[in-house]
Structure 1
C-alpha cells in the first residue's frame, strides 16, 4: 500500500498532471490534500487502474480530501510556452485554487518551479509511492478523459474517446487524412513524415 504523504506533521498536497504526451487537448493537473490518517488499498498511479476503479476512486477522493483542485491549460498555451512549462503552470494553478494553503508540496516527476514560498519535493514515479500524488493523478486523468470524450463528439474522426489525444497510429493517420483541429498542439510532431525527419 502507498504511503499517505512525505511529511508526517506538515499539511501537504500532492500534485500530478495528465496528458503531457498527447497530440491534442489540454494538459490537466490536480492537487490533493488528504487527511493524515487516510488509507486506501486501491489508490495507485492512475495509469495502472481500470477506468471503473478510477471513477469510483475519484468520487472517494473528492469526498474524503481536506482539499482538492483540478486545473486545465489548453493547447494554445502549450504551444506558446512548451509542454513542461504548461504542465508546471497547471500544477501551480491547481495548488493556487486549493481551499487550504499547503505547508509542503509533493510533486510527481523531477521538474518543478517553486510555488510562492512553500517548500516542495519532486519524486520520480511518486504516483506509485505516495497516496496524495496518486490521488492527484486520478483526478487529473479522470477530468481530462471526460473532457476528451466530450470534444470527441465535435471531431469523431480522431477517436479521442478511445485514444484521449495520445499519438496512436489511428490518431496520426486521421491527422494526415483530415488535417488538424483547434485542439491539436501545433508545436508537437503530429505526422509520420515529421517523425521520420527526426530519426
Structure 2
C-alpha cells in the first residue's frame, strides 16, 4: 500500500475515514474512523473489498487492539430516506470522527467529498487503496455492517440478505417483488419504490 502519495500538512494524528453500504437497498450505511499507531502497525491492510471475509475479521480484531483510537458510526434507514444517501453518509462520517476518543489533526476521507468536520479534512480518491488508516476504517465498517446484515437476515428471512448484504441482486429484486418491502428497506431507492407500488405478487 502506498502512503507516500500525500504530503500531509501535519505530522501528528491522522484519522482515516470510510463508509460501507451506500449502494444496498436496505440496512444502514456504516462508517468508521481510525487513527493508527505507528508504534503498533497492522500488517496486510488494504481495501476491505479486496480481502476475504476471514482476513477482514482477523484484521478488524488487530485494528481495534492496536489503533490509537477508532469509532464506528452509522446512519439508519430513516435518516437515509429523509436526507438522501449522500447526506446520510456524510452525517455518519462526521459521527465517526466526532466519536474518536482522540481528536485528530487531520481526517482523510475516502472518495471525493468531505463531510463538515471540526478538524481539517482532505478527500482521497481510492483512499482505501492508498492510505492505511482509510483501509483500516473500511475494514471496520465492512465487518460491522456484514454482522448487522446477518442479524437482519434472521429477522427478515426470504430476502437472502445474508448473501447479498442488501445489494440489488436479481434474488433481492425478485424477493422485493414477491414479498414487498420490509421496515429496513430504503423507501427513497427506486427499486424499493417500484416494489411498493406493485405490491406483493
Q: Indicate whether the TM-score tops 0.5.
A: yes
For residue 17 of structure 1, give the secondary structure of its aligned residue in structure 2.
Answer: strand
For residue 191 of structure 2, give the secondary structure of its aligned residue in structure 1.
Answer: coil
Deviation at 1:3, TM superposition (A): 2.2
Could you tell me the TM-score, scaled by structure 2's length? Answer: 0.91
Query: How far apart, in 1, do the equivalents of 2:95 and 2:55 lie?
Result: 26
| CA offsets 1:128-164 (integer angstroms, 9 cap, x no match) | 0010000000000000000000010011111111100
Paired residue for 1:197? none
Q: Is the 8 A contact 1:4 1:39 kept in 2?
A: no
Paired residue for 1:160? 161
Deviation at 1:114, TM superposition (A): 2.6
Paired residue for 2:73? 71
Paired residue for 2:199? none
Q: Is the 8 A contact 1:31 1:98 kept in 2?
A: yes
Paired residue for 2:179? 178
For residue 161 of structure 1, give the secondary structure of its aligned residue in structure 2.
Answer: helix
Deviation at 1:5, TM superposition (A): 9.3
Paired residue for 2:99? 97
Q: Is the 8 A contact 1:108 1:133 kept in 2?
A: yes
- Please tell me whether residue 124 in structure 1 is matched to residue 125 in structure 2: yes
Query: How far apart, in 1, do the equivalents of 2:4 and 2:46 lie?
Result: 11
For residue 156 of structure 1, give the secondary structure of its aligned residue in structure 2.
Answer: coil
RMSD: 1.8
Query: How far apart, in 2, do the equivalents of 1:183 and 1:191 lie?
Result: 11
Gaps of 5+ in 1: 195-199
Residues matched between the structures, number: 193
For residue 90 of structure 1, give the secondary structure of its aligned residue in structure 2.
Answer: helix
Q: Is the 8 A contact 1:35 1:65 kept in 2?
A: yes
Query: How far apart, in 1, do the equivalents of 2:69 and 2:168 lie?
Result: 33
Gaps of 5+ in 2: 196-201
Query: How far apart, in 1, do the equivalents of 2:4 and 2:170 lie?
Result: 38
- Please tell me whether residue 58 in structure 1 is matched to residue 25 in structure 2: no
Given the superposition, is the C-alpha separation of residues 192 and 94 from structure 1 closer, same or farther in structure 2, using an over 3 Å criterion? closer
Q: Is the 8 A contact 1:15 1:137 kept in 2?
A: yes
Report matched runs for 1:107-122 at 5 Å. 107-116=109-118, 118-122=119-123
For residue 157 of structure 1, give the secondary structure of its aligned residue in structure 2.
Answer: coil
Query: How far apart, in 1, do the equivalents of 2:39 and 2:4 lie?
Result: 8
- Please tell me whether residue 3 in structure 1 is matched to residue 3 in structure 2: yes
Could you tell me the TM-score, scaled by structure 1's length? Answer: 0.92
Paired residue for 2:50? 48
Query: How far apart, in 2, do the equivalents of 1:26 and 1:95 lie?
Result: 18
Q: Is the 8 A contact 1:5 1:131 kept in 2?
A: no
For residue 92 of structure 2, give the secondary structure of its aligned residue in structure 1.
Answer: helix
